[in-house]
């Protein structure tokens, strides 16, 4: 169980804070009583709130991560929210694009967790929230799915490795979220507000995984079934 029973009084470091989901992390943590938010990202915005501290961060740049840690030594919750899509087939995708997907969706959040772990330990344990995706379990988005699958594994490793220092690690899974990143997709979407709300509920309840919508719950349940349950096209062969 997590040491955090409520996010009230927490100090939160959110990556990709200016994005659609990122803005909800900032807003809802504040609504639940967080005392400070480090809103990190490559682009900044005016939050009009003295509790929000803008931080320049490029998750693909180790030096940028180290610099950010220098100003965020009181952090108690890390939200690995920054992400980048990649839709090209993995059998034909350009290597540089694939590396970029892994840099943003895997190596970046792993580096953040690695640098933040000692900070969280000093501050009592705290928590890490890794924003994953139902595509961590479903290879329908090629390189993006591969990178998110790797991050799912890393999240599971971090959960065990940081247990002794009482850092709670939560993995968040969901289908398409209604943000600018998915604006061009004509598919059912869950609202960013709902995703963050259910995740913070889960954090306060000590959940290790949050399945934010019916799609993620259905796919999670199918993982123990034959592959044809996830990929019906295989049954046609």
What integer pLDDT is reported at residue 185 of this predicted model?
67
How far apart are the C-alpha atoms of 84 and 190, rounded to whole Å?
18
What integer pLDDT is reported at residue 176 of this predicted model?
79
What integer pLDDT is reported at residue 181 of this predicted model?
67
What integer pLDDT is reported at residue 222 of this predicted model?
93
Bridge partners, 54 (sequence order)? 39
What integer pLDDT is reported at residue 33 of this predicted model?
97
Collapse the DSSP code of 5 into the 3-class scheme (helix H, G, I; strand E, B; otherwise coil) and give the result.
coil
What integer pLDDT is reported at residue 1 of this predicted model?
44
How far apart are the C-alpha atoms of 159 and 52, rounded to whole Å?
28
Residues of the chain under the 70 pLDDT cut: 1-5, 180-186, 237
Domain ranges of the chain: 11-236
How far apart are the C-alpha atoms of 171 and 152, rounded to whole Å?
7
CA 173 to chain centroid: 9
Ordered alpha helix ranges (H), 15-86: 20-31, 62-70
Tell me if the domain spanning 11-236 has CATH number 3.40.710.10: no
- Whole-model pTM: value is 0.94
What integer pLDDT is reported at residue 2 of this predicted model?
43
Collapse the DSSP code of 188 into the 3-class scheme (helix H, G, I; strand E, B; otherwise coil) and give the result.
coil
Give φ, ψ of 145 to 5 degrees.
Answer: -60, -40
Q: Which residues contact 30 (CB under 8 A, 6 or more apart)?
A: 37, 49, 51, 52
CA distances to 30, 60, 84, 174, 180 from 213, rounded to whole Å, are 24, 29, 21, 6, 19
């Amino acid at each position: 169980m997590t040491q955090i029973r409520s996010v009230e009084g927490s100090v939160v470091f959110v990556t990709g804070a200016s994005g659609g989901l990122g803005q909800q992390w900032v807003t809802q943590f504040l609504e639940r009583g967080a005392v400070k938010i480090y809103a990190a990202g490559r682009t900044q915005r005016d939050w009009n709130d003295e509790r929000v501290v803008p931080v320049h961060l490029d998750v693909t740049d180790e030096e940028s991560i180290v610099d950010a840690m220098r100003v965020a030594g009181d952090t108690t919750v890390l939200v690995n929210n920054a992400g980048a899509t990649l839709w090209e087939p993995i059998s034909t995708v350009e290597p540089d694009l694939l590396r970029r997907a892994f840099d943003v969706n895997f190596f970046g959040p792993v580096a953040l967790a690695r640098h933040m772990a000692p900070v969280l330990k000093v501050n009592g344990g705290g928590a890490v929230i890794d924003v994953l995706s139902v595509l961590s379990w479903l290879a329908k988005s090629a390189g993006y799915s591969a990178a998110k699958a790797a991050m799912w594994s890393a999240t599971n490793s971090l959960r065990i490795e940081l247990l002794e220092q009482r850092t709670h690690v939560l993995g968040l899974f969901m289908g398409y979220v209604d943000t600018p990143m998915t604006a061009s997709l004509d598919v059912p979407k869950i609202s960013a507000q709902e995703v963050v709300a259910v995740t913070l509920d889960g954090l306060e309840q000590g959940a290790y995984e949050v399945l934010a919508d019916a799609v993620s719950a259905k796919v999670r349940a199918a993982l123990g079934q034959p592959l044809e349950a996830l990929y019906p096209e295989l049954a046609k062969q």
